[in-house]
Structure 1
Amino acid sequence: MKPNLNNIILTGILLLCSHVMNAQFLAASDTSENSVRKYKSIISSNKEIVGFIEYSLAQKGLPKHLRNLALIESHFNRNITSGAGAVGVWQFMTSHANQYGLTQQNRNDLYKSTKTAVISLTKLYKKYNNWITVVAAYNCGEGNIAKAMTAANSSQYHIFYKFLPEETINHVKKYLNACYATGELQSVLSNYNSSRMNTVFFVNGGSGKNNEQLAETDINAGFNLHVIADELDLDLNRLLTWNPGISEDLQNKGEGTLYLPKDIMPDFLLKKNKILSRSVKETYTPNTKQ
């Protein structure tokens, strides 16, 4: 029976879109009424603090949902001190505060600590380009994020998260739950999924000529690596050097992460539909002959 080429292409595209929009566990893990009520109650009980934080964020062009970081960090309690020694609404450790000139004594000062948090969050976003990774980095530090990315060979949170401390993983879950309660979860997830098309990751760590900046995007088993290499005028072995194990991922999982140099990735994205269509044709044409 001759397969319907349009249906094959549509199925491949839907699989890819499904993967992009549902990056593994990235969703609220607790959508219960009790959870929503708890977060809303804390916000309602701290209207003045919340208002100041949201105003400070908006002044610097940051999304208001970042107020939820203070929510899960401290419940907006400026006098709280954690067991690890983090202080104030934003739970600054001394070393983190000192990076931005915030003294140890001023960590529980709402105005000074919020100003510092805004600067820190802005810096982290410029580095990671999505708020989920920013929340993780704010909790465990940039060093732990770098180690996790290297261990996973990926800069995508839903891939490298397993190499992070359990506390940080739970912290991100709490943030997503809080954003669900405030009606901002979809905005956070959309930001994450959009950033995945523009993420740059350094492979062959260290300095030197072997360093390459690779952008990454998701593909499904409908894509043929030979066709990708041909359409981008690349040597197949070079493509496989950037993507060790991708053939197995596509065959066994039906999907994988494609790495390409950041100057080549735009060409792939521009030709993506053509590459997928040609891949499907070349894969199924031999089976259509009578």
Structure 2
Amino acid sequence: MKAGFKIILTAMITVSLSQQLTAQFLSASDTSESSVRKYQNIIKANKDIVEFIEYSMVEKGLPKHLRNLALIESNFNRNITSSAGAVGVWQFMTAHANQYGLTEQQRTDLYRSTKTAAVSLSDLYRKYHNWVTVVAAYNCGEGNIAKAMRNAGSTQYHVFSKYLPAETINHVKKYLNVCFATGELSAVLNDYNNSRMRKVFLEGSGSGKSVSSLTEAEINAGFNLKIIADELKVDFSQLMDWNPELEQQLQEDGEGILFLPVDLMPDFLLKKNKILARSVKESSVNQGK
């Protein structure tokens, strides 16, 4: 067995076992009809706010499911103040707001606070590479995350989370419950598992490469991955490094999660219709041969 193949096989086995372990810790804890209906009703009742938040996230190259963070933080209430002094839809504390140039008064400004939240969340994702850890860090701060990681000797949330405050653990559980209600739980968990898969492959290969800051978009089997690479002007092999399971997902499920660096995602979203049209046309040509 060649050394390179052995490394990849070992990495795949490690990730598979790790995913099974993760599933025991990361899943929706409340999938009841009443829970699903409650969250869906909150989103429907705040349609305008939700659409603005989703637009702002996508504009920054971030996933729409981050609107669920605003939901669990404030139920989209821009005038709410917590007992700890967090204010607005995104529940900014004074220090957190000041860190990004947001004044105390602007914390209740939906436009300014959402744009600031998008920058903050992008920074956190660049650091942690998965949305589960980002949600935890947004709640308890990067210092508590670093401490928990040190105590656990691991950067994986399902390992170090036992060292986090109970409030933060519950916050993450609530986020996963809302994502279940909005049909986005699989995207969040795939992101978590894929972030660890990329880490295993890159470290196991001894390539010395660093993991890129990636964000996600849903695509269906109609998309041709080679055309995506061509339109984004990246090597196909690089695209597959970011998406090692995507071809299989598209073949088996008819849909999947495309991971791209944050700076490439806006370009993909702008060209999405063009890419799909090219993909369909090429598929038709190939079928006609």
Equivalent in the alignment of 1:197? 197
CA contact 1:78–1:108 (8 Å) conserved in 2: yes
| Match status 1:44 vs 2:44 | yes
> How many residues matched?
201
Report how far residue 21 of structure 1 moved.
Answer: 4.6
Rounded Cα–Cα distance in structure 2 between residues aligned with 1:118 and 1:264:
27
Rounded Cα–Cα distance in structure 1 between residues aligned with 2:120 and 2:20:
28
CA contact 2:81–2:88 (8 Å) conserved in 1: yes
Distance 1:264 1:100, change over 3 A: closer
The one-letter code matched in structure 2 to 1:40 is Q
Rounded Cα–Cα distance in structure 1 between residues aligned with 2:82 and 2:143:
21
Q: TM-score, normalised by structure 1?
A: 0.64
Rounded Cα–Cα distance in structure 1 between residues aligned with 2:18 and 2:87:
39
Q: Alpha-carbon deviations, 1:185-211, whole Å to 9, x = none?
A: 000000000001334xxxxxxxxxxxx
CA contact 1:128–1:134 (8 Å) conserved in 2: yes
Equivalent in the alignment of 1:102? 102
Equivalent in the alignment of 1:53? 53
Q: Alpha-carbon deviations, 1:130-156, whole Å to 9, x = none?
A: 000000000000000000000001000
Equivalent in the alignment of 1:263? 208
| Match status 1:152 vs 2:152 | yes
Equivalent in the alignment of 1:89? 89
Equivalent in the alignment of 1:173? 173
The one-letter code matched in structure 2 to 1:141 is G
Q: Alpha-carbon deviations, 1:207-262, whole Å to 9, x = none?
A: xxxxxxxxx58xxxxxxxxxxxxxxxxxxxxxxxxxxxxxxxxxxxxxxxx99977
Rounded Cα–Cα distance in structure 1 between residues aligned with 2:127 and 2:210:
19
Report how far residue 20 of structure 1 moved.
Answer: 1.2
Distance 1:138 1:259, change over 3 A: farther
CA contact 2:19–2:193 (8 Å) conserved in 1: yes
Rounded Cα–Cα distance in structure 2 between residues aligned with 1:21 and 1:83:
38
The one-letter code matched in structure 1 to 2:77 is N
Rounded Cα–Cα distance in structure 2 between residues aligned with 1:75 and 1:182:
15
CA contact 2:130–2:195 (8 Å) conserved in 1: yes
Rounded Cα–Cα distance in structure 2 between residues aligned with 1:63 and 1:264:
25
Q: Alpha-carbon deviations, 1:154-202, whole Å to 9, x = none?
A: 0000000000000000000000000000000000000000001334xxx
Equivalent in the alignment of 2:28? 28
Runs of at least 5 residues in structure 2 that lack an aligned partner in the other structure: 1-8, 212-289
Identity of aligned residues (%): 68
The one-letter code matched in structure 1 to 2:37 is R
2:115 aligned counterpart, secondary structure: helix
Equivalent in the alignment of 1:17? 16
Equivalent in the alignment of 1:141? 141
Distance 1:125 1:16, change over 3 A: closer
The one-letter code matched in structure 1 to 2:158 is H
CA contact 1:69–1:135 (8 Å) conserved in 2: yes
Runs of at least 5 residues in structure 1 that lack an aligned partner in the other structure: 1-9, 200-215, 218-257, 267-290
CA contact 1:21–1:193 (8 Å) conserved in 2: no
Distance 1:21 1:186, change over 3 A: farther
Q: CA RMSD in A?
A: 2.6
CA contact 2:15–2:197 (8 Å) conserved in 1: no
Rounded Cα–Cα distance in structure 2 between residues aligned with 1:98 and 1:111:
16
Report how far residue 25 of structure 1 moved.
Answer: 1.2
Report how far residue 16 of structure 1 moved.
Answer: 5.7
Rounded Cα–Cα distance in structure 2 between residues aligned with 1:90 and 1:193:
27
Rounded Cα–Cα distance in structure 1 between residues aligned with 2:166 and 2:90:
20
The structure with the largest helix share of the pair is: 2
Q: Alpha-carbon deviations, 1:96-133, whole Å to 9, x = none?
A: 00000000111011000000000000000000000000
